[in-house]
Amino acid sequence: MGRPVRGASLPAVTGTGRILVVDDDAMNRKLFGAVLTKAGFQVSCVSSGAEALALTAVEAPDLVLLDYMMPEMNGPEVLVRMRAQPRMERVPVFLITASTLDEHIEEGRRAGADDYLFKPLDPQTLRTRVAAALRQVEERRAATSGAQPETISQ
């Protein structure tokens, strides 16, 4: 068996990553935050699209969970503005909705949603989908940087 070479980077393991939860419902923010924090993720929660845009203008999270139905600015509107920020172009964004209407799903896809999660959310599904998306992000980063995990055989 090989052992890792010092300085080699490996993709992040499940349970790491910075998640931004954007939902006007305090109970949803609390629930999503608790489930993801317990799974080892770093979670920030905001209650509006304007707050989310202010945060992402400063620093990009690794993934965004964005409520579809919010006052003032709905999820797709927030998402279009997020995607206009260069640092947010490739950040996975999941729209969260209770609606299964095809037109809502299509509006989200046009706005740049990477995936949909439907309410009510099962905590295991939430953890699994978030972890899978973050693994893909790490694989993309490794591929674009050319960094490959290295091992030395004994």
What is the total count of domains within the chain? 1
Residue 95 domain-assigned (yes or no): yes
pLDDT recorded at residue 6 = 42
pLDDT recorded at residue 148 = 56
Residue 8 domain-assigned (yes or no): no
Residue 1 domain-assigned (yes or no): no
Residue 151, pLDDT above cutoff 70 = no
- Predicted structure pTM score: 0.82
Q: Work out whether the CA dihedral 136, 137, 140, 141 comes out positive or negative.
A: negative
Residue 100 domain-assigned (yes or no): yes
pLDDT recorded at residue 31 = 95
CA 150 vs CA 2, 123, 124, 146, 147: distances in Å: 9, 35, 32, 12, 9
Residue 2 domain-assigned (yes or no): no
Closest Cα to residue 144, out of 81, 64, 84, 89?
A: 89
Residue 4, pLDDT above cutoff 60 = no
Phi-psi region of 146 (alpha: psi -120 to 50; beta: other; left: phi over 0): left
- CB crowding 73-83: b at 16 or more within 10 Å, else e: bbbbebbebbb
Per-residue pLDDT tens digits for 50-104: 999 999 999 999 999 999 999 999 999 999 999 999 999 999 999 999 888 889 8
- With vertex at residue 109, the alpha carbon angle to CA 104 and CA 115, rounded to the nearest 5 degrees, is 95
pLDDT band for 113, please (50, 70, 90 cuts): very high
Distance CA 50, CA 8 (A): 39
Residue 77 domain-assigned (yes or no): yes
pLDDT recorded at residue 147 = 59
Domain interval for residue 90: 15-138
pLDDT recorded at residue 15 = 62
Residue 5 domain-assigned (yes or no): no
User: Which CATH number fits the domain that encloses residue 69?
Assistant: 3.40.50.2300
Residue 99 domain-assigned (yes or no): yes
- Tokens 């896809």 appear where? 109
